[in-house]
Structure formats: structure tokens, C-alpha cells
Chains A and B, each alone.
Chain A
């Protein structure tokens, strides 16, 4: 069997596994966010918080909950890093500098997991497990909560109420992420991922002498890093490191973890709005884009155009032998079409076009299938835009799921899709225009530009992967990328919740013969087109200067 066929079979196996999980997990998610029973442990947690989980919130109250929880999260994580030097259980590692601590705190709270630090030399056990990994759970739970609030906006009428933020946060963590991650972590340990609290210890070497090695609670962090589409590695090499991702099977399993919740949420969405077919239409859109991107990525990586790869005879730079080109291509595409940013191979050393595909995946807004929660709400915003465009074409007031898309709704959606491109392009332009940021580049020319464009795209879209040649541990990058992550996470959430609030207040309009059937393949086609055209028009000039120039030159 050749590597191309093996790559295709791995893709098919992955699709089969996701298909098997789709209905049970989707049903479970819908139940979690719809039932009115509380588990006993949840009652204890609500008592600890001092919140009544049965109080309904309007969109503004829901948003205040999201923001308050995130502000506290950033401050706590910042402080934890700043006092690491005196914190027990930290291997004697020094405290993190203010700009890097700010960047890292924001990065993990916003589900980005951009890392300007090297995990193995900078972060001790306590910061990793009680700081970073905690945000891996709760930032993902916040993402799902906001998506569920938007779904309730579609499902409910003549009310402004969107549910209770604390209840959604706690349920997502307790009922979905903790059990899922626990099972996944044990599977990863069984493959060989390490899970211990050893200090840095000497390990004998074959040719004599010894080397110092880190221990760590790696498997437990790896599991939620993928399941919560976070992506922050315990080690610098992330999921390329054999202790994080030891075998070909663990690799495929990690890709599965990345994708399983974002895809299954479309089923929960369908159930909650009372038509699973609406969920299938969204799923089909996400699936089409994802499969298309994976196919393109495999094609360009196996073709390996580029001077160094031609001499080497393959695009193996930055890739591990046990994964090969095929599985590395699937991982790279999946991590950038979601908000994960974990890597099992290094995107900077992909072919010019392959690097462009990872960039474009993020630029679509990470909606195919996107991050936990953020993928669903991002795609629903695009659906609103697509319905609006279709409405303009036939001259009717657009409707989606029985709700009118009036001026209030379309303003929220339009603001949502403008924020991230504005952040990416403005900050990239400043970084290129100023004299010093360019000193951080490892590569020059088109690829150097791509390094900077990639950094801001990754931060503003809350992805976290990098063209890691860029030395991002400078005051400029720590600060501006931190700002990008903050604004790129919370401003869109403001508009999502505002949209949810106005949808929930509406009286549904009955479907007529003239209503656009949003559960049909025609709509899926329209939506795929809208996603690609909007991102394409926005970013084409920037892409042409970077990866396209590099890809076409080789």
C-alpha cells in the first residue's frame, strides 16, 4: 500500500468514527442543555458559586456572566504565572515576565492557546495543571454556552431569555468535557503519553551519560487540549512530541477528539430548533469544506513543490515518520479549520500552498467545523448572511428558522464578520510597516510576510498555531497578539448574544411557499459559496503577497 492510499484510508476511517459518534453525542449534548434536572455535584457547585441555575437571563445578563468569568480567568492565570517562582510544585521554575504572562493568560482564556513560551522550560506542574489546563476546560465550555444561547435564540419566541450562563458553563464542564477528557486521557496513556508528577529527572542514554527530562500530567492535558479545541501543548513541539502523541493511532484519535464536539453540535442544534434536517444542512456545509480542504492539503503535500523538498524527495521537514505526510495533512487541516491550533507537524515547513491552506482555514472564521461552540455560532452567523443574500436576490424579507432577519439582526451578523478581518489586516499592516517586528522573522521574503500574517490570523481567530519561525516573545508581539486574541474572542461574542437576544424576542413567521428551504442541498451550496467568497474577497490580497507568491514561485 502506498502512502497516498494509506492517507485516504485514514481519512475515511476518521469520517466513519465521527459518523458513529454523531447521533449519540449530538443527542446527548441537546439533552445536557435542555433538561431541567441538576446532578448532585452540580448543585454543590452552584451552591459554591452562589448562583441560582434556574434563573433565566436576557442576552445582556448572559454576556455579563461570560465577560465576568473571563476577566477573572485572565487575572487568576496572570497572577499564577507571576508568582510561579514562589509557588510549590513548580520545579523551581522562575516567574513569567509580565508581557508574556499577559499574553499567555489571555491566550488560554480565549481558547486560543497561542504560546510564546516553551512549555518544557517555563511552566511548572501547578501552572500547567491548575492554570492552563483549567482554562482548556472552561474556555471550551464558555464557547459551547454561547453557541447554545444563540440556538435558544432561534428556538424560543416572544421572550428575551437565553438560559442561565452558570448552568450552561457548569453542565458543559461536568457532563461533557470532564468525562470525555477522562476517557480520552486514559486512551492516550495506553498509547504511551506520559502522566506523572515527576520532577525533572536524569534518564540514561544509549551512548552513555544521561539527559534531563521533564515529567508531567501530559495525557490529561493533551486530552482536553484536543477535545476542547484548545491546542496549547505541554511541550514546545506540541502534538509532534512523542510524549504527547506517541503512536499513529493516538494521532488519528487526537484528530477525532478535535472534530467530534464541533460536528456533533450541529445535531444538538437541529434537535433544539425542532428539525434535525436543519442540523444536517449545517453539517453538510462544514463537512464539504473540511473534506475539500483535506483533499487539497494532501495533494499539495504529496506533490511537495519547493526547492528544499525537491532535493529531499518529499515534504518531510517538520513531519514525524510515524505519522507520515497523509496523517499530518489531515491533522494540519483539522486544527486550522477548528480553533485548535495543536500541531503534529510544523506548518511553516509545509509547501507554500499547504501553508496557505492552513491560513485560509483560519480565515474562513474557523467554522468547518470550527471550535467547540464557536464553530457552530460562527457558521450560524454565516447562515444568516447567506439567507440575507438570498433574500436580496429575490426581493423578499429574509427568514431563517422562522425568524425574520431584519436590520437589527443583519447589523449584528455584519459586525461579527467584520471584526476578525479588521484585526488581522490592521495589525499585520502595522507590524510590516514598523521597523522592529520584522526582526522576529526566521524566513525572509514572501514566507516572512506569511509568518506575521499567520500570527495575527491565528490570534484574532483564536487558533493558536503558528508559522513558528516567528520569534513572538517580544513586547510588541506579546502585547498586540494578546489584544487580538481578546478582541477576536469577546467582540464577536457580544454580537452573537445580541443577535440571539433579538431573535428570541421575535414572533415566528410561518413558512410559506416563498420561504427559502434552509434544510435543502441548495442552501448548503449557497452557504459554502458565501463562506468561501466572503473570506476570499477579504483576504485574497494578503494571501497573494504571502503563500500564493511562495507557492507559485516553486
Chain B
């Protein structure tokens, strides 16, 4: 009995030492080395791909923002994000999805409302949005709630509204959208998309310049 207790103790001791040594390697040396390389060679990306407009940081090109006024292009809905419930000394965005299923009454309601809103907001004199024109990404929340992109279809649908409200021609705004439309990587990876923040920065530049 004593013998087996001693053996177990020895084994647990070896296990603890193994964990400590491997923690030094994989929990300290590895992340620090990667951070060193990242900071040296990819400084901007490693720190969150921040973008500036007029010398001021206005966000990250990777992180979608909410709350653009109607003069600007609108992002996707984000019904799944929340605020932190612990460590309240900070005000953090909790990334996340709605996790509602396809037959969930609340989701059905959200989608209907979003669709009506998209149609109403973007139908301007001389241009009426039809229900069939509204793409799925315009009325659904993304996985992260921080999707920085919208589909080119959703951007195209907003062109008339944005042009009218900013006193620009439709052709000008359409060109802006085209310039900010990214195709699939190598022609087949991912989906075509428009970065809303970058598009709105360019829009603001165009309005201020004209």
C-alpha cells in the first residue's frame, strides 16, 4: 500500500514537472517568439489593422461597426453581439451570433423587419427597391456580429439613397462601390464583398472634396 502511494506520488511529480517544462515551451517561448516575428514583420496587422482618416484612427478594417447614419452605407444587422456581463470596469463588445434556428419566431420577425427597413430606406424618388432584390446578408446577422463586409448586391441597392442624400451622382457612388468591391481570392476562395468602413471613409472623402 505504502509502496503504491509512493509510486503514485512519484508519477504525479513527474507529470507536474512535465507540465511545467512544456508550459515554458508552449506557453511562453512559443507565443513570445510568434509575437516577436509578428511585431517585426507584420506590425500593423498584428495590432489590429487599424485605419486612419484625416490622421485619426476610425476603426479596424477587419471589424464591422454599427451606427452609421443614413448618409452612409449600412452594415449587416448584428443582433447577436452583447456587452460584457463580468469585469464591468471595461465596456467590451461580446462577439457572437444570434443562434436562432430557421424556424425561430423571433428570427422570422427580425428578418421580416430588416427586409421592410431595407426596402423603405433605400427606396428613394425614382428608384424603388423590390423585395426580391434584397440579398440575404442584408437581413441576417453574421457569425461574429462584427462582419466588416456586405455583399456587392447589398451595396448596389444602397447606391441611390447614398447618392441622393450626399448630393452626388449615382454614377459617382456606383464607381466608388466598384472600386471597393473585392472579388474572390484567386477567383474562387470566399465570396465577393465590400468593406463598409473603407467604403464609407472613401465616401466621406468624396463628399468633403466636392
Within 8 Å of chain A (Cβ to Cβ): is B128? no
Select which of B26, B76, B104, B191 is within 8 A of A133 by beta carbon.
B26
Q: What residues of A have a CB within 8 angstroms of the CB of B22 in the complex? A: 45, 134, 137-138, 169-170, 173
Select which of B16, B34, B139, B141 is within 8 A of A217 by beta carbon.
B34
> With A182-B33, A196-B35, A316-B137 in contact, is A308–B65 under 8 Å at CB?
no
Cα-based distance from A321 to B77 in the complex (angstroms): 12
- Asked if B103 and A195 make an inter-chain contact with CB atoms under 8 angstroms apart, the answer reads no
- Asked if B193 and A322 make an inter-chain contact with CB atoms under 8 angstroms apart, the answer reads yes
Q: Separation in Å of the B166 CB from the closest CB of chain A?
A: 15
> With A50-B17, A203-B48, A206-B197 in contact, is A443–B190 under 8 Å at CB?
no
Cα-based distance from A198 to B60 in the complex (angstroms): 15
**Contact pattern, A 173-186, Cβ under 8 Å of B = 1, otherwise 0:** 11001100110011
- Asked if B34 and A120 make an inter-chain contact with CB atoms under 8 angstroms apart, the answer reads no
Cα-based distance from A321 to B150 in the complex (angstroms): 6
- Asked if A189 and B38 make an inter-chain contact with CB atoms under 8 angstroms apart, the answer reads yes
- Tell me which residues from 127 to 174 in chain A have a Cβ below 8 Å from any Cβ of chain B: 129-131, 133-134, 137-138, 166, 169-170, 173-174
Within 8 Å of chain B (Cβ to Cβ): is A205? yes
Cα-based distance from A550 to B48 in the complex (angstroms): 40
- Asked if A237 and B143 make an inter-chain contact with CB atoms under 8 angstroms apart, the answer reads yes
- Asked if A72 and B15 make an inter-chain contact with CB atoms under 8 angstroms apart, the answer reads yes
- Asked if A307 and B103 make an inter-chain contact with CB atoms under 8 angstroms apart, the answer reads yes
Within 8 Å of chain B (Cβ to Cβ): is A213? yes
- Asked if B101 and A324 make an inter-chain contact with CB atoms under 8 angstroms apart, the answer reads no
- Asked if B184 and A6 make an inter-chain contact with CB atoms under 8 angstroms apart, the answer reads yes
- Tell me which residues from 53 to 107 in chain A have a Cβ below 8 Å from any Cβ of chain B: 64-65, 68-69, 71-73, 76, 91-94
**Contact pattern, B 139-173, Cβ under 8 Å of A = 1, otherwise 0:** 11111111111110000000000000000000000
**Contact pattern, A 183-195, Cβ under 8 Å of B = 1, otherwise 0:** 0011001111111
Select which of A191, A308, A322 is within 8 A of B104 by beta carbon.
A308
> With A49-B18, A182-B30, A321-B151 in contact, is A207–B69 under 8 Å at CB?
yes
* Chain B residue with Cβ nearest A193: B45
Within 8 Å of chain A (Cβ to Cβ): is B28? yes
- Asked if A186 and B38 make an inter-chain contact with CB atoms under 8 angstroms apart, the answer reads yes
- Tell me which residues from 325 to 347 in chain A have a Cβ below 8 Å from any Cβ of chain B: 327, 343-346
Cα-based distance from A93 to B166 in the complex (angstroms): 45
- Which are the 7 A-B pairs with shortest beta-carbon distances? A248-B190, A306-B102, A314-B136, A240-B143, A324-B191, A237-B95, A469-B99
Q: Which residues of B contact A (CB under 8 A)?
A: 8, 11-23, 25-28, 30-31, 33-35, 37-39, 42, 45-50, 53, 56-60, 62-65, 67-69, 76, 80, 84-87, 89-104, 107-108, 110-112, 115, 132, 134-137, 139-151, 184-185, 187-191, 193, 197, 200-201
Please name 20 further chain A to chain B contacts, defined as beta carbons within 8 Å, in addition to the given A182-B34, A211-B91, A317-B97, sorted by A numbering: A1-B184, A51-B14, A72-B12, A192-B62, A195-B46, A196-B35, A200-B92, A205-B59, A241-B144, A242-B63, A242-B64, A243-B48, A246-B62, A306-B103, A308-B108, A314-B140, A321-B151, A346-B97, A351-B102, A553-B103
